[in-house]
């Protein structure tokens, strides 16, 4: 005991000489920092004892051994870690859910969440940090560092715990760790499938859940997720944030189900969010992103947003393409509600990545327009991630772009020169969650830009809209989506005589039930440098012939005439001479389908 006391006094005097007021017993709250580099990441673990829950930890790296004396010369790798960071919070339903009304629970069931409070494990284990490995101890700390090239080689690490601005714990590695940069790999959780090249040539369907989904356990409290990825700094507010996702496979495609939940390590104040479901430490981001200061405060007066979540999705898509070897020309997005919104955003921001998308009851643009159903605005959906902004102080992206411009779907798709992924969508006029008022501007912009956009609407609300659709407009199988490829020409229809009137945004204006570009099918026969041939039909129950439409032939692979070159178009028995328009588009206007028989269209130079 005497030896321990003298050692305590010695350490205390040393720390006090550095201006750190701390006792040995508090210092001892951190110990046994160890690390291992594998698959391009450094897995750091340490022991914790007696640390207050209000404390936060920071991780440092250096080419020199780190002590409190030279801490300022070390590089801070991550900060604001919670005490007990080794605990797998994904398995604690209370990190995702609060007490909700039956109506909200109904919406969450629609979004794919079937868990409820009180479900899940009484005590959560630690994270599993090796493929199919046992969980680590949940009582200690964990940080996963993804090094850049200038952070490789022999490195030392340290962890510092601070509470109320004072250092209350410190631990450092005694030996250096050899750090190697290489492609990071998600960790497999209880599955031996999904090895390298195991999905070679299969399409990849990325599924985005709705608001309230993404919970880490099911209704029986069992874990959800086949893979775990610890993020690098480019895709989260700090490095090391853990994300889980699931992979499923059938004979036709691979499905990747992502979870839009980001750990912020705190519960926000009621003056920071507008939806009570955001009163949790694992928040949803509407599949876009959030404020870089989400872990501390988003109260303003300046409001910021970065598209972390979009970059995370692209990173996972590219991993599947590289590691699983899915077909790069056949990656698709599907989602409903918030998931449909994310699909629209990703398709219009990264058109080169996705072959086609399906979006059920999405938001196309975030505005302050109030729903005539219940007064909701679409812009209220992103307050949780950016703060309580108004029309006078809207958030900006890191490059200064106004957030609402970046998320303005009508503005984004109004580029006829870009081949956007074909969009299959559905909407309800009485949808108070995703106000109808925002939809017509997107419909109009997509049509005017001659993009492939098939949409159906009716007088349903958020949950009933899909059930009320005619069978041929329901998303009941994947073939309508999977037929598109990034490397194959497809037709985009506009100004069809069968199109209905979507109105001006007032739920009472326009056709109560309607559609755009309904009933078209096609078969690409040839796409060569000198000839493009496609067979098309149009049919749906109740159709009235003849049908007249404009067709733009997008994603042409080989048939690419010069801007001033005259092209011969053989449309059934009719022959025309046409040229590309000012946007480089190959569009034929006023094509007539007299009946349901196939119409052959041939272009030649």
pTM exceeding the 0.85 threshold for the entire prediction: yes
Work out whether strand 514-516 and strand 520-528 pair parallel, antiparallel, or are unpaired. unpaired
Q: Distance (Å, rounded) from C-alpha 252 to C-alpha 43?
A: 37
Say how far apart CA 543 and CA 595 lie, in whole Å: 10
Measured distance CA(314)–CA(347) in Å, rounded: 11
Element of type H or E holding 208:
strand 204-208
Q: Please determine, looking at this structure, whether the domain spanning 2-179 carries the CATH number 3.40.50.10860.
A: no
**DSSP annotation string for 519-549:** SEEEEEEEEETTEEEEEEEE--TT--SSEEE
**Which ranges of the chain have pLDDT less than 50?**
1-26, 110-111, 120
State yes or no: cis peptide before 81, omega within 30 of 0: no
Q: What is d(CA 428, CA 439) in angstroms, rounded to the nearest whole number? A: 10
Domains in the chain: boundaries: 2-179, 519-605
Tell me phi and psi for residue 216, to 5 degrees.
-80, 0
Q: Are 525 and 533 in contact (CB under 8 A)?
A: yes
E-state strands within 486-530? 490-494, 514-516, 520-528
Q: What is the pLDDT of residues 164-191, one digit of tens each?
A: 999 999 999 999 999 999 999 999 998 8
3-state secondary structure string, 108-161?
A: HHHHCCCCCCCCECCCCCECCCCCCCCCCCCCCEEEEECCCHHHCEEEEEEEEE
Burial (CB count within 10 angstroms: exposed 0-12, middle 13-18, buried 19+), residue 292:
middle
In the block, tokens 């801007």 appear at: 563
Task: Please tell me the distance from the alpha carbon of residue 439 to that of residue 458, in angstroms, as a whole number.
Answer: 13
Instruction: Report pLDDT for 107.
Output: 53
Q: How far apart are CA 369 and CA 440, in angstroms?
A: 13
What is the radius of gyration, based on Cα positions, of the chain?
Answer: 28
Neighbours of 454 (CB within 10 A): 21
Nearest to 339 by CA among 355, 352, 356, 358: 358
Question: What's the CA angle centered on 286, arms 367 and 451, to 5 degrees?
Answer: 65
Pairing state of beta strands 254-258 and 227-230?
Answer: unpaired
| C-beta separation of 53 from 83 below 8 A | yes
Structural tokens at position 237: 């507010």
């Amino acid at each position: 005991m005497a030896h321990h006391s003298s050692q305590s006094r010695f350490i205390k005097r040393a720390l006090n000489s550095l201006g750190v007021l701390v006792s040995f017993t508090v210092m001892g709250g951190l110990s046994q920092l160890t690390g291992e580099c594998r698959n391009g990441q450094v897995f750091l673990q340490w022991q914790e004892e007696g640390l207050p829950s209000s404390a936060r930890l920071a991780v440092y790296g250096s080419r020199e051994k780190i002590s409190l004396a030279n801490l300022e010369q070390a590089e801070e790798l991550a900060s604001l870690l919670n005490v007990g960071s080794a605990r797998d919070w994904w398995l604690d339903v209370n990190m995702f859910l609060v007490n909700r009304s039956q109506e909200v629970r109904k919406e969450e069931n629609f979004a794919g969440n079937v868990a409820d409070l009180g479900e899940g494990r009484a005590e959560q284990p630690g994270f599993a940090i090796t493929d199919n490995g046992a969980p680590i101890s949940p009582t200690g700390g964990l940080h996963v560092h993804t090094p850049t090239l200038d952070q490789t080689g022999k490195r030392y690490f340290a962890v510092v715990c601070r509470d109320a601005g004072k250092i209350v714990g410190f631990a450092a590695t005694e030996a250096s760790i050899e750090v190697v940069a290489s492609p990071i790999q998600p960790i497999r959780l209880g599955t031996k499938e999904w090895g390298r090249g195991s999905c070679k040539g299969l399409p990849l369907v990325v599924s985005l859940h709705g608001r309230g989904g993404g919970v880490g356990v099911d209704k029986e409290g069992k874990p959800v997720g086949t893979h775990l990825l610890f993020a690098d700094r480019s895709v989260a507010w700090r490095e090391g944030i853990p994300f889980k996702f699931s992979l499923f496979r059938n004979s036709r495609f691979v499905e990747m189900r992502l979870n839009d939940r980001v750990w912020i390590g705190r519960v926000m104040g009621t003056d920071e969010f507008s939806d009570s479901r955001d009163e949790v430490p694992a928040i949803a981001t509407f599949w876009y992103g959030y404020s870089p200061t989400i872990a501390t405060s988003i109260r303003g007066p300046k409001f910021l947003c970065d598209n972390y979540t979009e970059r995370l999705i692209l990173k996972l898509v590219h991993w599947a393409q590289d590691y699983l070897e899915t077909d790069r020309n056949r990656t698709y997005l599907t989602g409903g509600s918030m998931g449909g919104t994310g699909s629209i955003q990703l398709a219009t921001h990264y058109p080169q990545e996705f072959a086609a998308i399906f979006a059920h009851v999405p938001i196309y643009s975030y505005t302050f327009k109030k729903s005539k159903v219940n007064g909701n605005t679409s812009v209220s959906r992103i307050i949780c991630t950016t703060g309580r902004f108004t029309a006078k102080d809207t958030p900006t992206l890191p490059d200064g772009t106004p957030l609402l411009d970046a998320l303005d779907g009508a503005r984004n798709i109004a580029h006829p020169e870009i081949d956007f992924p074909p969009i299959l969508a559905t909407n309800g006029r009485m949808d108070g969650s995703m106000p109808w008022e925002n939809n017509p501007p997107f419909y109009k912009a997509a049509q005017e830009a001659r993009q492939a956009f098939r949409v159906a609407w009716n007088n349903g609300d958020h949950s009933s809209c899909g059930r009320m659709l005619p069978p041929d407009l329901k998303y009941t199988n994947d073939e309508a989506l999977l037929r598109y490829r990034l490397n194959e020409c497809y037709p985009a229809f506009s100004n069809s005589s069968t199109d209905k009137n979507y109105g001006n945004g007032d739920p009472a204006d326009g056709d109560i039930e309607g559609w755009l570009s309904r009933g078209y099918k096609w078969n690409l026969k040839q796409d060569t440098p000198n000839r493009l041939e496609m067979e098309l039909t149009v049919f749906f129950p109740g159709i009235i012939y003849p049908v007249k439409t404009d067709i733009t032939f997008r994603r042409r692979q080989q048939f690419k005439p010069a801007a001033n070159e005259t092209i011969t178009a053989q449309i059934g028995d009719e022959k025309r001479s046409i040229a590309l328009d000012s946007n480089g588009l190959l569009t034929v206007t006023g094509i007539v389908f007299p009946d349901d028989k196939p119409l052959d269209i041939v272009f030649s130079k």
